[in-house]
């Protein structure tokens, strides 16, 4: 009896991926092959071809099989499988028992450790569930679920009439704001502004706080100039100081200027007979219109130098009070000596072009002017203007008088800068406590018997009153 043998090649599946092993059954060369004839169109591999193929074997250890048909007699089919051994170990199947009708030789490779784990944890899914995607592993409503999680909660129907409308007790913040008038807030703001002024205290006369707080609601007290656009001080390289030691020598201090056609220095300050520690303007200098040149930080003297009166600051107390027809005024509760420094006139330093614009705006609303020109050395369109309307010192409230007790002097502490210097008020006579401080707004104005129509009248009430301050209401064009 001719014994036919059938081989099952399980090693062909080993070259495929592990996923295919899990999902595809092994292919068998079943007995149906015995009733099928081989096509003569399939070329036969010769031994020399097989030998040459073995030399160029794939690095993946593929299996090569050769079928040798015998004149179409499939009973004598001899299938020879030439197996290339893998580098990893494998387990062959046991040999078939002798005497059986068909000998079956099976080569089963050992599965890898990863494949064993996947086989142990694999779950069988019936073919009926593979018709479409499983909602468990491929949910199609995932976007709807995410949208429902982020959506606003559903509106609840509430019967408002069942809930009583109650108003609780307001907190201290609301209670305080409701009970505090606006004028009280302005008075507190004024007090904070006055506290920022350096030197002895600047106060307000009792009973005038509300009126002054309302008038200065948009005004700020400052301690030095505010330089605006277009105003630039001279560079530090062009500044200089004297070479005196500790205390300047009036006979040779380099900061002082010389008398005209003389080698003597102009000394602006002198001591008082009552107090040697007091330094003020000399009676001779108060008759001048000269610039005061003080020592600065570049000088060799110290801060206690006699030529640093302005630098040492204000020494007297000031009080702002309401005068009635002349608005607010300024006075001091201290006794003031003749020649004593009072305070600086401060404000915004602006250009001439900006000053013209502010003049027009002030004239349109019939507002007062607080402009002072820094034109001691130059009188052209390039001079700077000090505007004390919105920013300034307490000297902003000094009123005019045709018989003044104060006078404004120009003081230079940066000797190389002729366009930027200080405006300082000095007492020209002894002033008793509580007497109003005044200076002459327009000393060049002549006395008139009758005030001209459209002129700015003078309200000082002095015996020598000139009757008017300016010949027309546009006093801003003439500036102080």
Residues with a known catalytic role: 345, 441
Under 8 Å CB-to-CB from 311, ≥6 apart: which residues?
Answer: 294, 295, 296, 303, 413
| Bridge partners, 74 (sequence order) | none
The torsion region of residue 176 among left (phi > 0), alpha (psi -120 to 50) and beta comes to alpha
Q: What are phi and psi of 129, to 5 degrees?
A: -80, -10
Q: What are phi and psi of 474, to 5 degrees?
A: -85, 65
Task: Classify the C-alpha dihedral 387-393-396-398 as positive or negative.
Answer: negative
Mapping DSSP to helix (H, G, I), strand (E, B) and coil, where does residue 461 land?
coil
Q: What are phi and psi of 102, to 5 degrees?
A: -135, 125
| Bridge partners, 427 (sequence order) | 406
Q: Are 6 and 31 in contact (CB under 8 A)?
A: yes
How many Å apart are CA 231 and CA 384, to the nearest integer? 7
Under 8 Å CB-to-CB from 452, ≥6 apart: which residues?
Answer: 468, 471
Question: What's the DSSP call for residue 153?
Answer: P
Q: Are 209 and 187 in contact (CB under 8 A)?
A: yes
Structure token pair of residue 376: 């001691």
Q: Are 327 and 441 in contact (CB under 8 A)?
A: no
Sequence-ordered alpha helix ranges (H) in 237-350: 309-312
User: Cα dihedral angle (306, 307, 308, 310), rounded to 10 degrees?
Assistant: 110
**Residue located via tokens 């219109």:** 289
């Amino acid at each position: 009896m001719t014994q036919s043998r059938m081989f099952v090649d399980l090693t062909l599946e080993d070259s495929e991926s592990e996923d295919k092993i899990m999902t595809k059954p092994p292919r068998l060369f079943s007995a149906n092959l015995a009733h099928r004839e081989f096509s003569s169109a399939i070329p036969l591999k010769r031994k020399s071809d097989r030998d040459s193929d073995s030399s160029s074997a794939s690095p993946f250890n593929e299996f090569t099989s050769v079928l040798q048909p015998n004149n179409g007699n499939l009973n004598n089919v001899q299938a020879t499988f030439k197996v290339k051994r893998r580098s990893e170990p494998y387990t062959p199947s046991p040999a078939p028992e002798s005497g059986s009708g068909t000998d079956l030789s099976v080569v089963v490779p050992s599965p890898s450790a990863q494949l064993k784990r996947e086989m142990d944890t694999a779950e069988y899914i019936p073919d009926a569930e593979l018709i479409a995607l499983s909602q468990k592993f491929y949910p199609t409503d995932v976007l709807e679920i995410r949208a429902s999680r982020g959506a606003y909660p559903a509106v609840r129907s509430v019967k408002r009439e069942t809930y009583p409308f109650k108003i609780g007790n307001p907190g201290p913040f609301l209670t305080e704001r409701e009970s505090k008038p606006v004028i009280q807030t302005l008075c507190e703001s004024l007090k904070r502004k006055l506290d920022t002024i350096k030197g002895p205290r600047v106060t307000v006369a009792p009973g005038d706080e509300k009126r002054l707080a309302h008038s200065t609601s948009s005004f700020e007290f400052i301690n030095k100039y505010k330089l605006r656009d277009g105003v630039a001080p001279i560079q530090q390289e062009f500044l200089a100081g004297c070479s005196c030691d500790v205390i300047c020598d009036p006979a040779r201090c380099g900061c002082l200027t010389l008398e005209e056609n003389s080698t003597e220095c102009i000394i602006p300050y002198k001591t008082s007979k009552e107090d040697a520690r007091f330094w003020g303007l000399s009676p001779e200098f108060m008759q001048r219109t000269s610039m005061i040149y003080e020592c600065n930080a570049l000088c060799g003297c110290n801060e206690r130098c006699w030529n640093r009166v302005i630098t040492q600051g204000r020494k007297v107390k000031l009080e702002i009070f309401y005068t009635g027809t002349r608005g607010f005024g300024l006075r001091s509760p201290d006794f003031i000596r003749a020649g004593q420094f009072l305070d600086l006139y401060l404000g915004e330093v602006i250009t001439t072009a900006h000053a013209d614009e502010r003049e027009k705006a002030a004239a349109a609303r019939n507002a007062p002017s607080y402009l002072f020109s820094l034109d001691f050395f130059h009188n052209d369109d390039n001079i700077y203007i000090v505007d004390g309307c919105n920013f300034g010192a307490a000297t902003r409230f000094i009123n005019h008088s045709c018989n003044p007790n104060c006078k404004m002097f120009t003081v230079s502490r940066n000797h190389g800068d002729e366009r930027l210097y200080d405006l300082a008020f000095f007492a020209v006579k002894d002033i008793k406590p509580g007497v109003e401080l005044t200076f002459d707004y327009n000393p060049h104005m002549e006395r008139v018997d009758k005030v001209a129509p459209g002129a700015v009248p003078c309200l000082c009430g002095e015996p020598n009153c000139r009757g008017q301050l300016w010949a027309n209401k546009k006093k801003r064009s003439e500036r102080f």
